Amino acid sequence: MLGTCGDGALTFYLAPSRNSEVANVALPSSTARRAALALAALALIWGYNWVVMKEVLRYSGPLDFGALRNLLGALSLLALLAILRRPIKPVAAGWMLVLGLFQTTVFTCCVMLALAWGGAGRAAVLTYTMPFWLMALAWPLLGERIHALQWPAALLALAGLLLIMEPWNIHGGFAAGLLATSAGVAWAVSNVMVKRLRARVDIDLLRLTAWQTFFGSLALVLIAALFDTQPLHWKPYLVGAVIYNAIPATALAWMLWVYVLHHLPVGAAGLGALAVPVVGVLSASIQLGERPSATETTGMILILVALALLSVQALREHRADQSVLPQD
């Protein structure tokens, strides 16, 4: 199970399910085009949000903004549940609380502090090492062995991580890189937890996402109140950033992602999701003037190639599963 997330406000799981069988049949070209456009819009929304989160730190402390964006994002998802007339009451609240601490509290603290101390593009790519930490955890915890293209993907990702972090040459950006990588690890841990939870409890992913984000954001509010001393400056950019994170990057993004998973094969959706860190890097270069070194650029490319290999592997497995589907 490969989870994707554009900015940490949401938890999405890129895996086949009983409810996604529509993606196993040939789709009309118009439907495929709409799904591709939805995926492109999602990549732009999530990818550009790395720049938004970096820029907003001129007006807010990192923890304060992390608490704001997640709390309002959770409320927007709960509102979406009400609009869609789905059950709102939390299920397995204890699991959701623990999940929220990893996926929302720890993840957001690591991401926002990484952005405060380092570049947005670099943070985006390092956070997206999540699938490789997930593979490492899934082997002992879920019994899912690494196989086929996952091996070269893991090796490429490790090489890329080393080139970006440069542990042989500790520098000012090392702490920021370590925090962004830790965000990927926390994201991977939360994905393992979700897989175990969904094996025990039948729960709507929207409700799961809404409540884990809500519980995690409450912890963030407390942490921000205790440790973030920078005052909030309610300038138009801060207001716009909060709204952007609550609505386009959370509620709208959730609907787009579900639409994509419902209408595109898993591997194709994964390949499209690769555009998120790419958009993050390009946006940071254009708007923020970030210029990674040659070594960092090589590392980023290796990680993106590794992610592409994982998506190709998922696409192959999807096609293999499709070839053995029973015929009517």
Sign of CA dihedral 51, 106, 9, 24: positive
Domain spans of the chain?
43-146+170-263
pLDDT score, position 170: 61
For residue 40, what are its two tokens? Answer: 């492109």
Q: Of 134-148, 156-170, 240-254, which has the strongest mean pLDDT?
A: 240-254
CA angle in degrees (0–180, nearest 5) for 13-18-19: 75
pTM of the model: 0.83
For residue 7, what are its two tokens? Answer: 């900015």
- Kindly state the average pLDDT of the residues 287-303: 88
Compute the half-sphere exposure of residue 141: CA atoms within 13 Å on the CB side of its CA.
Answer: 16
CA angle in degrees (0–180, nearest 5) for 122-127-128: 100
Residue 230, φ and ψ in degrees, nearest 5: -70, 130
pLDDT for residue 11 is more than 50 = no
| Nearest CA-CA partner of 217 in 189, 193, 246 | 246
Average pLDDT, the chain: 82
pLDDT score, position 232: 92
Worst-scoring range by mean pLDDT, 7-21, 162-176, 177-191, 250-264? 7-21
- Kindly state the average pLDDT of the residues 179-208: 87
Strands (E), 181-267: none
- Kindly state the average pLDDT of the residues 252-275: 76
pLDDT score, position 267: 63
Q: What is the pLDDT of residues 92-113, one digit of tens each?
A: 888 889 999 999 999 999 999 9
pLDDT score, position 61: 95
Residue 119 CA to residue 278 CA, distance in Å, equals 14
